[in-house]
Amino acid sequence: MFTGITTDVGEVLAVRARGEGLHRLKIACAYPRASIAQGASIACSGVCLTVVDTGEEDGRTWFAVDAAAETLAVTTAGHWRHGTRLNLERALKIGEELGGHIVAGHADGVAELIAREDLPDMARLALRAPAQLTRFIAAKGSVALDGVSLTVNEVEGDTFSVLIIPHTLQVTTLGAAKAGDGLNLEVDLMARYAARLMETR
């Protein structure tokens, strides 16, 4: 589990195919190597991945993860290349501050950024959600975009908007997001379970 509060922005150093539908990713980060255990979960732009190796290179820590076929198909991970910047978050520990909302790191799909409006004190992003996910998105509800916990501002049909404060623009990859980009979308867990309960009545 995660909170959607980015703690570092990493960089993809290498992507290597390991058999059909499996990619090994090597990602540089600012976390101390000794603090990253093999088998640990790290959310990479909203995608929960398991650490399979760690090391140091050019004075930077790196960790390696494997992305399977399903992950490559339903998230932006299939497009990650050398130099791709990723929002990183370590798994939530009991007793830590829950600053965002409960995020599983299981991206539901990719939302398309259709417009960006830079305002004096923030940016407004308008996005189009995959059709099967629109019923889970509500005004004042929560979503995670590329692993960042955000409050939904407005919803109209299959589009929704969020407002990004300057701090978030500075410390996450959302500051560089532009129209046409795809962002990993995770809908709120409570909305998903509420919809499932209604379906089974």
pTM: predicted TM-score of the whole model, two decimal places: 0.93
Q: Please provide the distance, in angstroms rounded to a whole number, between the alpha carbons at the two ends of the chain.
A: 28
110 backbone dihedrals φ, ψ, rounded to 5°: -120, 125
pLDDT tens for the 201 residues of the chain, in order: 899 999 999 999 999 998 778 999 999 999 999 999 999 999 999 999 999 999 999 899 999 999 999 999 999 999 999 999 999 999 988 777 777 788 999 999 999 999 999 998 899 999 999 999 999 999 999 999 999 999 999 999 999 999 999 999 999 999 999 999 999 999 998 887 787 788 776
User: Is residue 18 within 8 Å of 66, Cβ to Cβ?
Assistant: yes
- Bridge partners of residue 186, in order along the sequence: 144
**In the chain, how long is the greatest CA-to-CA distance?**
57
Mind listing the domains of the chain with CATH numbers?
Answer: 8-90 (2.40.30.20), 109-200 (2.40.30.20)
Residues 68-89 as b/e (b if ≥16 CB within 10 A, e otherwise) read: eeebbebbbbeebeeebbbbbb
